[in-house]
Structure 1
Amino acid sequence: MNKYKNEAALIFCTLIWGGTFSATKLSLVSISSCLFIGIRFAIASFVFLIYIYFKNRKEQVSYPEFKTNRSLYFLAFLLGFWMFMGFAFETIGLKYTTATKSGFLTGTLVVITPILQTIFLKRMPSSGNLLGVIVVMLGLFFLSAESRGENNEFVISLQTGDVLTLAGAFFFSLYIIYVDKASKSCPLDILLLSQTLVTSIFSFMLAFVLDWTEFEPLFIKMDSKVMPALFYNGLISSVGTTFLQTKYQKGISPTRAGLIFSLEPVFSAILAYFTLEERLDSIGLIGCSLVLTGVLLAELLGREKKSKIPKV
């Protein structure tokens, strides 16, 4: 019974994550993208800071590892920086693509990560991961294709938002690689706070830079689209699912958890269908199916160890 309870909790987390694409997409008409990220993770940082404060008062935690090894500060900072880059590219890209495509393109991090491990860690990917890469690449071909003209000719055209979202998946993959190292050296609660705090600070800074360069004006309208999205992404997604994942993921195998998390783009597509009325043509559906198949192949046949750091 506990097994099903653990899996149900992770499925619920994945459903929540899938909903962030639609919630963010709806809010971006009323707030600049990086300002949204900054406020979202400022909310999460505030909650984690309160948690650490009361935990320290109750348990008298002093984190001596930071006193003897100052390099951990840089490691925690670097982890937060990669997380910031991932969310920045994903959220800015979401302005120029659909929530459905954003979910599937972000999901390609599952097959990008083994490639980066080969480059940076000299760790060869398994045959299952390589097969997943091939299938995902084929899926991206169909996702970027559309029929034009009277003869319905196929035209390959990756939009700006698609490219930015793929770049976000690349940085999320770097984040995953560094999570494995950081989680073995730094306390979990400090890692959570450092990630959200660094992401929030850099997002505010980038928001002003983009406004100064006239790439994206800095604006916010506290309307019925922004407030629910900030509550959903900042508290329910960033904080609530962190608690659930931390508590229940340890009760099931990493491989099974990875398979459950692979449902995120599926949930994002379903929720975008009902909330944003997004529709995919037959070519897009084939592309999404192939991307999901590639991700599942990488999860089922891959041998890489999954990280247990919660997604925020």
Structure 2
Amino acid sequence: MWRSNALLLVVTAIWGMGFVAQRLGMEHVGVFTYNALRFGMGVLALFLFLPLVRRFEPLRAKASPRTLLKASLLAGGLMFIASTLQTEGLAYTTAGKAGFITGLYVVLVPLLGLVWGQRTHAATWVGAVLAVAGLYLLSVNEALQVSRGDWLVLASAFFWAAHIQALGFLTQKADPVYIAIGQFVVVTLLSLPGMLGWERPALAEISSAGGAILYGGLMVVAVSFTLQVIAQRDAHPAHAAVIMVMESVFAVLAGWLVLGESLSLRGFFGCTLMTAGMLLSALAPHLHARMGLSALQVKAGEKQ
């Protein structure tokens, strides 16, 4: 299990540093160019990694091409909106703040589940309150103003949460690996018109953003996805939930090391509250299950 936890920690570190790559890439190219190139590169790399992925994630649900196409369009459409809002927002906010605000999807996923009649535990609500309080300290200044970048990244968190909810449903209808690759193809195709028709980047601009695009495509899309598939096969769900929350912390560390970003004392307390809230929300199902098991054990003991 320690091997799986270590791999998941590497995955979250890659994701966290991905915010820095997005920020650096946006200094040279537009949002559609960055996403079209990084997701396109990620798709090509994933096809190379596919035999390795299949060793740990065998084909699950056989689906018709039409079903797979519908699943890819829905998941890819939500991912396109989320990644566009997030990447655009990073042009106006710090990588560290974006990491924590994006991490709110951990809280939003179970709350959005209420729409589909899913049960939400009390710990999730407590986590939501802590996360919102932390978001206020992190993003709302003394003049009660929120930056444009923070608003955009916050909007992206809702779409990331909707994307995760959609994947939970879609992966019961078609193979998760094919859906993942399909959604990356959709994001690439949806980004291309904006890249070619609106932004029209010069080769020099793409070259300047080359390092950020390579990191976003190879590491964030291809390598992290492959490692995640391998790691989550044997990882304990509760451990995985805690480790995934560390993405925000890695974003702050990477922003500090690479971009020289810093947090005010107010922002630090905000991040602390948000981390506590995200951890509570992520662990709520596991806490509830353990409490239920304890209650059953007590009842069994009473009967004896």
TM-score with structure 1 setting the length: 0.84
CA distance in 2, matches of 1:32, 1:236: 20
Deviation of 1:233 after TM superposition, in Å, equals 1.0
Which residue does 1:204 correspond to in 2?
192
- SS of corresponding position for 1:263: helix
Q: 2:114 aligns with which of 90, 101, 118?
A: 118
Matched, 1:76 2:72: yes
Which residue does 1:106 correspond to in 2?
102
CA distance in 1, matches of 2:38, 2:51: 20
Deviation of 1:145 after TM superposition, in Å, equals 3.0
Q: Which runs of 5+ in 2 are unaligned?
A: 289-304
- SS of corresponding position for 1:235: helix
Which residue does 2:130 correspond to in 1?
135
- SS of corresponding position for 1:262: helix
- Per-residue displacement from partner, 1:7-53 (whole Å, max 9, x unpaired)? 11110111111000111111211111121011000011222345569
Matched, 1:179 2:167: yes
Question: Which amino acid counterpart does residue 102 of structure 2 have in structure 1?
Answer: T
- Cα 1:28–1:183 shift into 2, 3 Å: same
Which residue does 1:189 correspond to in 2?
177
Matched, 1:240 2:223: yes
Question: Which amino acid counterpart does residue 39 of structure 1 have in structure 2?
Answer: L
Which residue does 2:7 correspond to in 1?
9
Which residue does 2:38 correspond to in 1?
40
Matched, 1:92 2:88: yes
Deviation of 1:158 after TM superposition, in Å, equals 1.1
CA contact 2:7–2:231 (8 Å) conserved in 1: yes
Deviation of 1:224 after TM superposition, in Å, equals 6.6
- Per-residue displacement from partner, 1:46-74 (whole Å, max 9, x unpaired)? 22345569999xxxx9x96215xx34421
Matched, 1:29 2:24: no
Matched, 1:155 2:143: yes
CA contact 1:30–1:225 (8 Å) conserved in 2: yes
Aligned residues: 282
CA distance in 2, matches of 1:112, 1:233: 25
CA contact 1:26–1:225 (8 Å) conserved in 2: no
Measured on the aligned residues, the alpha-carbon RMSD in Å equals 2.4
More helix per residue: 1 or 2?
Answer: 2
Question: Which amino acid counterpart does residue 261 of structure 1 have in structure 2?
Answer: M
Deviation of 1:184 after TM superposition, in Å, equals 1.6
CA distance in 2, matches of 1:176, 1:252: 19
CA contact 2:68–2:179 (8 Å) conserved in 1: no
CA contact 2:49–2:226 (8 Å) conserved in 1: no
- Cα 1:281–1:234 shift into 2, 3 Å: same
* Identity %, equivalent residues: 27
Deviation of 1:168 after TM superposition, in Å, equals 0.6
CA contact 1:34–1:92 (8 Å) conserved in 2: no
Which residue does 2:279 correspond to in 1?
296
CA contact 1:145–1:283 (8 Å) conserved in 2: no
CA contact 2:101–2:157 (8 Å) conserved in 1: yes
Which residue does 1:269 correspond to in 2?
252
Question: Which amino acid counterpart does residue 79 of structure 1 have in structure 2?
Answer: A
- SS of corresponding position for 2:184: helix
TM-score with structure 2 setting the length: 0.86
- Per-residue displacement from partner, 1:147-191 (whole Å, max 9, x unpaired)? xxxxxxx22211111111011110111110011111122123311
CA distance in 1, matches of 2:191, 2:24: 19
Matched, 1:168 2:151: no
Deviation of 1:281 after TM superposition, in Å, equals 0.9
Matched, 1:219 2:201: yes
CA distance in 1, matches of 2:226, 2:6: 14
Q: Which runs of 5+ in 1 are unaligned?
A: 147-153, 212-216, 306-312
